[in-house]
């Protein structure tokens, strides 16, 4: 019984320390990002199109390494939920999952940094899932992954940090654009070349 209690106590201490260490490395964030999804037809006479989405951002920055809480290197995964309403009243949806390996300096480099201004750059990829209503009985959807870069500038406020962030797909992705009727039946499948970019305001807390 004594050994069991000792083991539980030791396990609890290690778990508490591990959770505290992880918490020291996390900087959660949320905000809004204006996204532009672009696609172009493949072939000899390609035509391009773009759709704008208003997205809500939720994610976190996790620092793997830092130097005096001034410079850090880490990973920034997030999720974007977005929509738009086109002129005919149709609602389009967007889901994005950006994941960036980042380097930061100044504000937002770690949770203990107290500098007023910071900056960051990163490289990674963005998974995008689009669903667009194009007629009363037809919707098209697309899923693709773009390699992308991100850059940001951060200002410290009294309640947290405000970050202006922009990202850009550095290469287009080939993927199918699938057309379905209201019953979910596939009516057409076309290969497209997808890209995009976005900019937004992110709040760190």
pLDDT at 103 over 50: yes
d(CA 61, CA 28): 6
Q: Are 169 and 196 in contact (CB under 8 A)?
A: yes
List, for residues 177-199, the tens digit of each pLDDT value. 999 999 999 999 999 999 999 99
d(CA 18, CA 142): 40
Q: What pTM was computed for the model?
A: 0.85
Q: Are 59 and 97 in contact (CB under 8 A)?
A: no
Q: Are 77 and 57 in contact (CB under 8 A)?
A: no
Question: Residues 107-124: what's their mean pLDDT?
Answer: 94
Tell me the average pLDDT of the chain. Answer: 87
List, for residues 81-99, the tens digit of each pLDDT value. 999 988 778 899 999 999 9
- pLDDT score for 3: 47
Question: Residues 52-81: what's their mean pLDDT?
Answer: 95
Of 125 and 10, more confident: 125
Question: Residues 135-159: what's their mean pLDDT?
Answer: 93
pLDDT at 19 over 50: no
């Amino acid at each position: 019984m004594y050994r069991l209690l000792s083991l539980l106590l030791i396990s609890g201490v290690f778990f508490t320390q591990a959770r505290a260490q992880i918490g020291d490395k996390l900087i959660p964030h949320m905000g809004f990002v204006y996204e532009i999804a672009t696609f172009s037809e493949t072939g000899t006479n390609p035509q391009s199109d773009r759709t704008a989405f208003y997205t809500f951002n939720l994610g976190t920055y996790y620092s793997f390494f830092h130097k005096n809480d001034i410079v850090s290197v880490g990973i920034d995964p997030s999720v974007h939920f977005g929509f738009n309403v086109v002129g005919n009243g149709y609602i389009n949806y967007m889901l994005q999952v950006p994941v960036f390996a980042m380097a930061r300096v100044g504000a937002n480099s770690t949770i203990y940094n107290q500098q007023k201004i910071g900056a960051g750059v990163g490289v990674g990829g963005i998974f995008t899932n689009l669903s667009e209503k194009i007629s009363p009985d037809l919707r098209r959807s697309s899923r693709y992954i773009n390699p992308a870069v991100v850059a940001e500038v951060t200002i410290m406020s009294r309640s947290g940090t405000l970050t202006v962030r922009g990202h850009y797909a550095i290469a287009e992705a080939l993927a199918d654009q699938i057309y379905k009727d209201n019953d979910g039946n596939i009516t057409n499948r076309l290969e497209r070349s997808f890209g995009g970019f976005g900019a937004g305001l992110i709040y760190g807390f």
